[in-house]
Amino acid sequence: MKARIISLIMLSCCVCIGLSGCQLFQPYRPITEQGSALNANSPSKLHKGMTAAQVEKALGQPVLVNMLDKNQISYVYTVMPWARDMTTHHLTIYMKNGRVTSWTTDLAS
């Protein structure tokens, strides 16, 4: 009887050690988000002639402001879901005389 209990304990230990290398038992990893949250509707909030303050009110504070060229504002948003590759979205707004003239983005509209 004791031999059976010992063999069951050893078998349980071997199974636990074997499964500890599996990806099934990985610790929780939260979704990592950085930057200003951008989605497919973000560019629709923009229109030509907006001021920088209006853009900031509509989209939030920009991640990058070009110190050498005040006529360019960049929004960058990165998302890294658990166990998948990181996704990055960009929205760059071009201004002239303090007003929006155009923008480029990689967001699907």
Q: Structural domains in the chain?
A: 30-105 (3.30.1450)
Cα–Cα distance measured from residue 77 to residue 36, given in angstroms and rounded to the nearest whole number: 6
Q: What pLDDT does 4 receive? A: 82
Q: What is the pLDDT of residue 80?
A: 84
Predicted confidence (pLDDT) at residue 17 exceeds the cutoff of 70? no
At 103, which amino acid appears? Answer: W
Average pLDDT score, the chain: 82
The DSSP bridge pattern shows strands 64-65 and 87-96 to be unpaired
On whether the pTM is more than 0.85, the answer is no
pLDDT level of residue 106 (50, 70, 90 thresholds): confident
pLDDT tens digits for 18-47?
666 655 666 777 888 888 888 888 888 899
pLDDT of residue 23: 57
Residue in the block written with tokens 């110190």:
67
Q: Which of the 8 DSSP states describes residue 24?
A: G
